[in-house]
Amino acid sequence: MRILSGIQPSGKLHLGNYLGMMKPALELQQQGEAFIFIANYHALTSVSNAAHLRRHTLDVALDFLACGLDPERTAFYRQSDVPEVTELTWILSNVTPMGLLERCHSYKDKVARGISANHGLFAYPVLMAADILIVQSDVVPVGRDQKQHVEVARDLALKFNHQFGEVFKIPEPSIRDDVAVVPGLDGRKMSKSYGNTIEIFESHKQAKQSIMRIVTDSKTVEDKKNPEECNVFALYRLLATAEQQEDLAERYRRGGLGYGQAKKELLELFEARFAPLREKREELARNPDAVEAVLRRGAERARAEAVKTLKRAREAVGLE
Ligand code: ADP
Ligand code: TRP
C-alpha cells in the first residue's frame, strides 16, 4: 500500500493539523510505503515573501521529524524538488472541467473571505491531484476539509484513464472520524485563518495562554456542567485516555469543577504529550544540514516514481 500526504508550509503547526493529518499519516507509515511532502508550490498561493516561505519550509521539516517521521521508512521531500508534478498538473488541467474547480469549497471559502482569486488558487486542486497521482498513491490521509480535493484527484484519474488508457491508480482519502474536525479555542474548526489555534511547538507559556483563552459559558464552579457542550472538554477528550475522559466528564456532571481547573488539566495533558517533542525539535533545529540531507534523499526516492509515471502520462497523451 502506498500512502501519501502533504502539508503546506504556510504557518505554525497546530493541534488540528497534528491530530487531523500528521498523526494519522505517521501512524500509516508502519503499514506501507509512505510519501510525505512539504507542499511549497501550494504555499505560493498564500505566502508571498521568499524568506517566510523558506523559513516555514524548514519549520515543517522540523515539525514532522520531531513528531516521529522516520526518514528511513518514508520518503520525505519538498514538493518543488520533484518538479515533474508541475508538468503533470498541466497535462491533468486538460481533463479538468472548470465546473469541478468552481465547486471546490476551499476555493469558494477563500473567495468569500475576500482573498482575491488568481489562477494558482483556482488550479490548486489540480496540482494536488498531480501530487497524489504521480506517485501512484493508494491512500491519502487528510482532515475532512481536504476530502473534496482528494475526490477531485480520483475524478481526474478516472477521466484520464478512460480517455487515454490506464496510467493512474485511483486513490482513496483516509479520514479518521474522531479527529476529522478538531475544534479551536472558540469551538469553530481549529484553523490558522480563524486565529483560534493551539500551536504544538509554542513555548509552555504560550500554550498556557492559548488554553486559558478557550471560550466557555458563564456557569459558576458549583454548577453542574454538560461535558458534551464544552470546548475545553472537546479538546481534552482528543488527548486523554478513556479513563481520564470518564473521570473528568463525571466531575463536570457532578458540579464543583470550574472551567479553570478543566483547562489546567488539559494543559497538563498537552505538556505531557508535546514537551518531549519540543525538546527533540530543538535538537534537530541545531543541525539544519542533516534536515536538508533527509529532504534531498526523500526527493530522490519520490522523483524516481514521479519520472516513471510522468513518462507514461506523456506517452498516453502523445507528447512522446
Ligand atoms: P488551516 O485550516 O489551519 O489553514 P491547513 O488547511 O493548512 O490548516 O491544513 C493542513 C492539514 O491539516 C490538512 O490535511 C487538514 O485537513 C488538516 N487540518 C487542519 N485543520 C484541521 C482541524 N481543525 N481538524 C482536523 N484536521 C485539520
Ligand atoms: N492541500 C493540502 C492542505 O492544504 C496540502 C496538500 C497538497 C496535500 N498536496 C497534497 C495533502 C496531496 C494531501 C495530498 O492541507
Could you give the domains of the chain? 2-181+288-317 (3.40.50.620), 192-282 (1.10.240.10)
Residue 62, judged by CB atoms within 10 A of its CB (0-12, 13-18, 19+), counts as buried
Q: What is the mean pLDDT of residues 52-68?
A: 97
Task: Please state, in angstroms and rounded to a whole number, the distance separating the CA atoms of residues 176 and 78.
Answer: 25
Kindly tell me if the per-residue pLDDT of 180 is higher than 80: no
CA of residue 280 to ligand 1 center, whole Å: 23
Q: Are 141 and 24 in contact (CB under 8 A)?
A: yes
306: left (phi over 0), alpha (psi -120 to 50) or beta: alpha
Classify residue 10 by its DSSP letter.
S
Ligand 2, atom 5, lies closest to the CA of 7
Residue type, 2: R
Ligand 2 pocket, mutate which of 14, 56, 128 (most atoms under 8 A from CB): 128
Task: Please state, in angstroms and rounded to a whole number, the distance separating the CA atoms of residues 306 and 130.
Answer: 10
- Predicted local confidence at residue 188, as pLDDT: 95
CB of 147 within 6 A of ligand 1: the answer is: no
Residue 231, judged by CB atoms within 10 A of its CB (0-12, 13-18, 19+), counts as buried
The pTM (predicted TM-score) of the whole model is 0.93
Question: Pick from 8, 1, 13: which is nearest to 274 by CA?
Answer: 13
Classify residue 31 by its DSSP letter.
G
pLDDT digits (tens, 9 = 90+) for 114-137: 888 999 999 999 999 999 999 999
CB of 7 within 6 A of ligand 1: the answer is: yes
Task: Please state, in angstroms and rounded to a whole number, the distance separating the CA atoms of residues 201 and 186.
Answer: 20
CB of 196 within 6 A of ligand 1: the answer is: no
Mean of the per-residue pLDDT values for the chain?
A: 96
Confidence class of residue 11 from pLDDT cuts 50, 70 and 90? confident
Task: Please state, in angstroms and rounded to a whole number, the distance separating the CA atoms of residues 230 and 316.
Answer: 54
Question: Pick from 99, 151, 95: which is nearest to 122 by CA?
Answer: 99
- Contacts for 112-119 with beta carbons within 8 Å, 24 or more apart? 113/193, 115/46, 118/45
Kindly tell me if the per-residue pLDDT of 177 is higher than 90: no
- Predicted local confidence at residue 266, as pLDDT: 98
